[in-house]
Structure 1
Amino acid sequence: MDELPIGRRVAYWRGRRKMSQQVFADRLGKSKSWVDKVERGVRRLDKFSVVYEIADVLQVDVQLLLGKDVERRPETQNCIDQVEVEEIRAALERYDQMSAFFQAVPHSPPLAEMRKAVSHAWLTYQHAKYGVLARTLPKLLRDAQAADSAYATGSEAKEAAHLLGQVYQIASSALRKVGEHELSWLAADRSIAVSQRAGDQLLAGLASYRVGSALLALGRVRPALEVNVNIANRLAPTHEPAHKGERLSVYGMLLLNGAMAAARIGDSATVRDLLCGAEQASLELGGDYNHYWTSFGPTNVQLHRCATAVELGDGRTAVETHEKIDVVGFNAMLPERRAHHFLDIARGYTQIGNVEKASEMLLEGDRLAPSEIRCRPLAHEVLSDVLRRTRGTPPAPIAELAEQMGVGV
């Protein structure tokens, strides 16, 4: 896209942000005609102040609009920037499986190496190292696609497909964190098809969970609820001991995700039923585990009780539930999950007007996993809300965090 005129770049990013020309014009304080002329190259953008204003509205680095390489600043090293998103998109746009139908794949990494790389990527995600993950994901996607193609007809075909299915899910989760919901949906959808080839119902169930998460992020709430509940019903635990822990974990996470969707539409009865089902599964599981990278167990159910209460607008219940969470179980959870919870509880505190405690929760999350707070659009919204509600000058730590995140005080 570097060779495109600046007007075409503006049009491209406006489309990516799902803005009409009129909405974009309103946010700039310009006319729709002005925007149209800029995008068609009829009107030149010769003032840097205007270019910077456009970049701010589109939430992209100004260097991207100017067709230059983005300079990665130290404070954004742990976030996923637009350049990295485009590299991940390019990897998702590859169709190596179709190419392999016509000719052999020239190179594929050994599956033993792929296993290690995929496990490392999962841990990187669960430790909320999103910048590190973003810089490795494009190559990991290409390698996993190549492996899936190379081993498509051999005895290792299912394992190769399983690894690719996992990589798609990692990509889906990371992209959703930074607001790239359409790409997140694409990656999750890819994982469903690949997981079926892998012959693993639980991996396919977890792919459905990722699809549900992406749909929920896109505002497609009822389809998100349906996909989670439907697949959960198909994976309902049986009395067979084989893989019982893994099955309970995937089943439970589908119910929890369904509860989040039900909360989004204000269906408190369905929220209650799904949370009860997940709690029963967690009790049967007998503790907190990370089967299939789910972090499922009694503690995660409590975290979702808080999150669904926030979605229902019941901040007081969220805070009261938070105060009863088992500290030992909570501290044993991985950083991404705990920091995500602090963000949820910060929202809960703002709902009851306790800005000071909301600030504390944001700072706790930032100390634990900075990327979960600094890289997520939702965290920017919560911090903006906290700043608006703060009387007088905000405390130095929250003002410093706002400055580092680029949120106006």
Structure 2
Amino acid sequence: MPRDWLDDDHTGARIAHHRKLAGLTQRGLAQRIPYSYSLLHQVEAGHKNASPDLVSAVAKALHVDVTALTGQPYMTELQQDKLAGLIRPIREALDLYDLGADPALAPRGVEQLMVAAEELCSQVRATQLNKAAAALPLVIAELTTAAHRTPSTELWRALASAYRTAHDITVKLGFYDLSGIALDRMDWAAQRASDPVLSAVRQYMRALVYFREGEHTIGLRLIATGLAVLHQAPQSIESLAVAGQLHLGATVIAARAQDEDTVGKHLAHAREVAERTGEQGRVHWLSFGPTNVCAHEMSANVEMHEYGRAVENAANIHLLDSWATSRRAHFYVDRGRAEMETGRHDAALASLLQARRVAPQQTRYHSGARETIKALVRARRKTPDTLDSLASWIGR
């Protein structure tokens, strides 16, 4: 594996580039973020890992998008995986929403379209991104035409589901501008479905956008709005599970803000809800229950740099067979980061290999996984063949 990629193609180098464009010294930037000059210096030099919380803080301070610092989307890998060419049709399908019915299109029946929307969701949960991305534009086009011709709650819900799928695909591949458009379209369809639970799910997804960008206050406000919207819906297992997931979203947002009190408050609320719902594997494309509460607690440990506690908590989590592949892979990536940060390099490598095994495309385009792989390479003078292979696989 070429050894010079750490010197000129990493997040730290991009931070240095944008810092200089802003006319700031390292000390000047360090004064604007909650991290030390020493850490920033090491990150820019490629000697320390650029953690997601540091990247979001720098992006906010420099007024740039997080993707400008992480290098997303990773176009070379997207082209290799034949995914780059699938993005434009998705973008075009998202622009059909206000054009009415397409006179040249004969959509499938309502039941068939609902099944198609669910199948797309299942494919994303199984991290079959190629398959879902290829099928998505036609499903959106058919649902848009069908909903305009014969409006019904079922069709608007199915269209909202398809827009959520568009969001999931574009986020995983690093097209964050497009993912924002997809969420706007999801809200447009949810309003026509008159479904407050759907609207609350959309607020949860918006909050995660601001979590990534380091806008913690806005993210927590969106969570509060989502919880308020749920009061318009009759209480059910579905509404309770979405409420619990909103609390879990607030947990990781507050953890990245290093707000321990808010983390504890929302985690306690989520636990209370989980005792009432039990394990729910598929509520509006979410998995909620006691296991997911434990997994989010571990993720919060990671965000708060409590890596030892995260490793301990991860050891007590037994993933459910019903868990979506995408969620399972995310758990392995978080665990791998905690293991890497505590010097458990072999365990971290094993976690990342598990993530790749269960969800290869998602792991390849996961910025956290890529940074952890780079950190493992930096930590070893001589890397094992498996780590060399993993680093080459992410295009480095």
TM bucket, shorter chain: 0.7 to 0.9
Higher relative contact order (CA 8 A, sep 6+): 2
Cα shift readout 1:248-306 (whole Å, capped 9, x = no counterpart)? 11111111111111112111110111111111111111234322221111001111011
Q: Provide the residue aligned with 1:258 in structure 2.
A: 250
CA 404–86 in structure 1, closer or farther in 2 if over 3 Å, else same: same
Give the gaps of 5 or more residues in structure 1. Answer: 1-18, 27-55, 63-69
What is aligned with 1:111? 110
Aligned alpha-carbon RMSD (Å): 2.8
Partner of 2:146: 147
Query: 1:108 and 1:331, CA in 2 relative to 1: closer, same or farther beyond 3 A?
Result: closer
The answer on 1:401 being equivalent to 2:393 is no
Match of 2:278 in 1: 286
Pairs within 5 Å for 1:13-52: 23=18
Shift of 1:105: 7.3
In 2, distance between residues paired with 1:303 and 1:185?
26
Cα distance in structure 1, aligned partners of 2:105 and 2:329: 42
- The separation in 2 between residues aligned to 1:332 and 1:108, in whole angstroms, is 32
What runs of 5+ residues in structure 2 fail to find an aligned partner?
Answer: 1-13, 22-69
CA 1:277–1:24: 2 relative to 1, 3 Å: closer
Contact 2:199 2:229 in 1 (8 A): no
C-alpha displacement at 1:310, in angstroms?
0.8
Say if 2:129 is the partner of 1:130: yes
SS at match of 1:330: coil
Residues 354-381 of structure 1: CA distance to partner in whole angstroms, max 9, x if unpaired? 2221111101111122122112233212
Say yes or no: does 1:380 pair with 2:370: yes
Give the 3 Å change call, closer, same or farther, for CA 60–297 of structure 1 in structure 2. Answer: closer
Give TM-score, length-normalised by structure 1.
0.75
1:83 is displaced (CA, Å) by 2.3
- For these two proteins, the number of residue pairs brought into alignment is 334
Instruction: State which of 164, 178, 191 in structure 2 corresponds to 1:169.
Output: 164
Bigger radius of gyration among the two: 1
Query: Which residue does the alignment assign to 2:312?
Result: 320
- Residue 325 of structure 2 is aligned with which of 322, 332, 335? 335
Match of 2:45 in 1: none
1:120 corresponds in structure 2 to 119
In structure 2, do the counterparts of structure 1 residues 387 and 59 end up closer, same or farther at CA, with 3 Å as the change threshold? Answer: same
Q: 1:104 to 1:134 in 2, by over 3 A?
A: closer
The one-character-per-residue Cα deviations of 1:327-367 (angstroms, maximum 9, x if unpaired) are 2x534422111111000111111222222211111011111
Question: In structure 1, how many angstroms separate the alpha carbons of the residues matched to 2:322 and 2:286?
Answer: 14
Q: Percent identity?
A: 25
CA distance, structure 2, for counterparts of residue 71 and residue 345 of structure 1: 26
Q: Is the 2:196–2:232 Cα contact (8 Å) retained in structure 1?
A: no
Is the CA contact (8 Å cut-off) linking 2:203 and 2:226 kept in structure 1? yes
Equivalent pair of 2:118/2:161 in contact (CA under 8 Å): no
Displaced runs of 4+ in structure 1, greater than 6 A? none
Equivalent-residue separation in structure 1 for 2:268 and 2:104 (angstroms) = 49
Q: Distance in 1 between matches of 2:144 and 2:290?
A: 36
Structure 2 letter corresponding to 1:401: L
Aligned runs of 1:84-95 on 2, under 5 Å?
84-95=86-97
Q: Do structure 1's residue 216 and structure 2's residue 218 form an aligned pair?
A: no
Deviation for aligned residue 1:237: 10
Amino acid at match of 1:396: D
Q: Tell me how far apart the structure 2 counterparts of residues 116 and 86 of structure 1 sit (CA, whole Å).
A: 24
